[in-house]
Structure 1
């Protein structure tokens, strides 16, 4: 199911994106659903780190549409009015478990994020429109030197959708899980042994500026790697980092056809792409042009936005999602029928999303949300159940 690109990270001085803007990962709900108003979330601290952990449950209350936070009992609190410049948000921190211990809180019917931080509380602010999220690509962001991460979730009448995400950054590792109605448990997000350090080593060894995505603290602590989208936006990655591959794709489909079958359950719904000049036009089976794309730049590719915008419709959005996945995984030259069914050929070209390649290579099950539409072809790190008994968040070692 569609994954929302979480573009909430903005400089505090220019923040306009709200946490409440996250779309629900699930369906609108069922009248006959038996999902309670809150479910338990068991947080286990296997990080091996001695600092205190702080947990936050922030999002949009689905019953009211209001933005706010939930306390450890799952009780909702609406944000007060913010200001311009942004004003400090109320302290929504929940003390987390100490190293080697677990703590269970309750999470309500929300669409939002579970943040966790080590050593220091996060600094959240409120504008007149709502919550400002951390923007660690901004050198002046007050959260830049804090080791933290987050998971995204939606709990509604249709069940729980809970993922681990690296769309914005790769940082403190964690896994998510759900105990299903049948009593079994599904988990995803664990790294391989040595995967955390292995990811950073792979990124730093990659020529072309990819190592510039890594951020460290003055004491030498490795904090995170920014996504390549933020790398391009901040100048850490060159703006032309994907040009060679995009140019080759444009050349190929000037004389051949790219076939997109965006829905696995609708194999007869196909669209056909051909390039004319700077534009790739897609036609339906009747030969009618249904949408067109300008040649994308690296920002459009890495962010799956701008020239690869994906509206929530039944034509352009699904085609754009497929194109975005093909560009990031560098499969468009080797397979003219998209999307790809397996991951065997992903990230093989010399010009590819090296960040996403390194993330997936270090995941124990190979699954991750390394870019916005990494769920194309079911490569995402997502757990779901229609009648969840319990959710899990496991903080893993930074090794």
Structure 2
């Protein structure tokens, strides 16, 4: 199972503490993975403005945070300050529209940012790097068109994704050339998928169009995730209440069966609501964990009342609940996770942001919320002996 793949951003001074690793720990590969591999960036955006690329994260061999230059050489961040101080300029000049360029990426767990027209403003505080937090209207990156991919390259190979967990913005897809020479890719939008996504949000009643951010001149920049919509007041905190109440009512008289591990079907947990709390028991009838009725923020963020610690019981159950709430499958299937997309987002009360993201993907797969990998619906490529990685910037149309 893939770990949660985004570091949660909270306010303008959010930090990269330690970006979570996408995949197993180093040292589990059958064949050695080079210290760096090539990443080919292809600019199919059709945009004429300058492109800037950044490779930021944690050096896995030392645990130090920093950035990598175009040759894959690691540079540790200097000490920051309070208030935050400007970070060194880590920008790599990207290829012009219609062209490609190849850089080297090292054994990192981090993010590959890219921006159009302007460099991203990064600062350092005493705890590390301050990431862009465009849900904050005063963030210096608020009017910059940018996005990022997340990756881990370690001794066991590469995990590279496209993500919309925090926002939907400048489109791109990712790919890997495997050790056998074949190529796999993920994150490609359908033709017209970029504008199709925003049109879907605008047409959805209930304030979902308020997630869209524009420049003062009206240029569309991004749509915030519904978590940030709730946190900033752009989306009502009651937006999922009707569905949440129906779920709690149903499982007061019906058992919710969770089988969290696809490769261990004998491990099952049984949920029932009693006294307003959903208690889960194991096969012996012992209560193993309990959940208060969640709110929209907990569901969209897969945290707080749906916290998912990295353990063997509560975390896997919480992941399953989070996916079921976001995909609105809990009322139609008492056996979770529901891994077939046939039932996803069919209730009138659902995560319409995630629905719109998946609907516009060429293969239907995306990271529209943190645990979209439940049932393997995520936009992720992986190989244990990668020859090369790819980042393709697509048209904003």
The two structures share one fold, judged by TM-score above 0.5: yes
Q: What are the superposed Cα offsets for residues 73-108 of structure 1, whole Å, 9 maximum, x if unpaired?
A: 000000000011111100000000000000000000
Contact 1:8 1:132 in 2 (8 A): no
Paired with 1:368 and 1:159, the residues of 2 have a C-alpha distance of 21
Match of 1:224 among 215, 222, 225: 222
Aligned residues: 396
Match of 1:30 among 3, 27, 30: 27
Contact 1:45 1:395 in 2 (8 A): yes
The answer for the alignment partner of 2:4 in structure 1 is 4
Paired with 2:101 and 2:219, the residues of 1 have a C-alpha distance of 26
| 4+ residue segments displaced more than 6 Å | none
Paired with 2:4 and 2:81, the residues of 1 have a C-alpha distance of 27
What runs of 5+ residues in structure 2 fail to find an aligned partner?
A: none
What is the deviation of 1:5?
A: 4.9
The answer for the alignment partner of 2:166 in structure 1 is 168
Q: What are the superposed Cα offsets for residues 249-308 of structure 1, whole Å, 9 maximum, x if unpaired?
A: 000000010000000000000000000022100000000000000000000000000000
Contact 1:39 1:389 in 2 (8 A): yes
Paired with 2:347 and 2:103, the residues of 1 have a C-alpha distance of 45
Paired with 2:340 and 2:140, the residues of 1 have a C-alpha distance of 41
What is the deviation of 1:219?
A: 1.9
Paired with 2:288 and 2:181, the residues of 1 have a C-alpha distance of 46
Contact 1:179 1:186 in 2 (8 A): yes
**Counterpart check, 1:327 vs 2:325:** yes
Paired with 2:190 and 2:342, the residues of 1 have a C-alpha distance of 19
Paired with 1:172 and 1:258, the residues of 2 have a C-alpha distance of 39
Paired with 2:130 and 2:137, the residues of 1 have a C-alpha distance of 16
* SS of equivalent residue, structure 2 residue 299: helix
Contact 2:5 2:21 in 1 (8 A): no
* SS of equivalent residue, structure 1 residue 344: helix
The answer for the alignment partner of 1:275 in structure 2 is 273
TM-score, structure 1 normalization: 0.98
**Counterpart check, 1:294 vs 2:310:** no
Paired with 1:7 and 1:300, the residues of 2 have a C-alpha distance of 16
Contact 2:172 2:391 in 1 (8 A): yes
What is the deviation of 1:16?
A: 4.6
The answer for the alignment partner of 2:308 in structure 1 is 310
Contact 2:5 2:150 in 1 (8 A): no
What is the deviation of 1:221?
A: 1.1
Q: What are the superposed Cα offsets for residues 311-369 of structure 1, whole Å, 9 maximum, x if unpaired?
A: 00010000000000000000000000000121011000000000000000000000000
Q: What are the superposed Cα offsets for residues 171-213 of structure 1, whole Å, 9 maximum, x if unpaired?
A: 0000000000010000011100000000000001000000000
The answer for the alignment partner of 1:159 in structure 2 is 157
Paired with 2:27 and 2:231, the residues of 1 have a C-alpha distance of 41
The answer for the alignment partner of 1:198 in structure 2 is 196
Match of 2:355 among 357, 368, 377: 357
Match of 2:119 among 96, 113, 121: 121
What is the deviation of 1:8?
A: 4.2
* SS of equivalent residue, structure 1 residue 325: helix
The answer for the alignment partner of 1:182 in structure 2 is 180
* SS of equivalent residue, structure 2 residue 342: coil
* Greater displacement, 26-35 / 244-253: 26-35
The answer for the alignment partner of 2:90 in structure 1 is 92
TM-score, structure 2 normalization: 0.98
What runs of 5+ residues in structure 1 fail to find an aligned partner?
A: none
Match of 2:132 among 123, 131, 134: 134
